Amino acid sequence: MQFDTSSPIWVQLVGEFSRRIVTGEWAAGEKMPGVRELAADLGVNPNTAQRALAELERLELCRSERATGRFVTHDDARIDEVRADLATDAADEFVRRVRGLRMAHDQARALLDKRWDSHEHHTTDIPDGGGA
């Protein structure tokens, strides 16, 4: 993972860990990697990884069990809320960027539809909600 200077590393880790949860890389109810393992894998200080994991607990995406570790929440509704938040952020960024390019709404929609179809093979297990 590459870090940028626009926000603290622990905040970027919260985003990365949230992404791992909503995509199922860390499945609901599954034991999460330990602080030291995450820190070593990502090349960060264990205190930084710990801070990000504490924030995930505050966000109710995981829970700690004394002497056994951290576990991803079983709350599918909470995971769906975070997924929607991450998707909203991505959509807002897309809109900001294409507006900055002075692209018309219809052109942006056509571009998104075209790109969506070209990435279909990556998301065959995700049903098309069609609504948003």
pLDDT tens profile 65-121: 999 999 999 999 999 999 999 999 999 999 999 999 999 999 999 999 999 888 875
Q: How far apart are CA 54 and CA 73, in angstroms?
A: 14
- State which residues form the domain around 108: 77-122
Q: What percent of the chain has pLDDT over 70?
A: 90
What is the domain count for the chain?
2
Neighbouring-strand partners of residue 72: 62
Q: Are residues 90 and 50 in the same domain?
A: no
The C-alpha atoms of residue 103 and residue 97 are separated, in whole angstroms, by 9
Residues 68 and 100 in one domain: no
pTM: 0.77
CA distances from 97 to 61, 62, 66, 110 (A): 30, 33, 45, 15
All residues at 6 or more sequence positions from 18 whose CB lies less than 8 Å from its CB, including other chains = 56, 59, 61, 82, 86
Residues 103 and 62 in one domain: no
| Closest to 60 (Cα-Cα) out of 68, 70, 48, 49 | 70
The rounded distance, in Å, linking the Cα atoms of 78 and 67 is 25
What distance in Å separates the CA atoms of residue 46 and residue 91, rounded to the nearest whole number?
32
Can you give the pLDDT at residue 79?
Answer: 97
DSSP conformational letter for 30? P
If asked whether residues 54 and 92 sit together in one domain, one would say no
pLDDT for 24: 95
Q: In 1-132, which ranges are E strands?
A: 62-65, 69-72
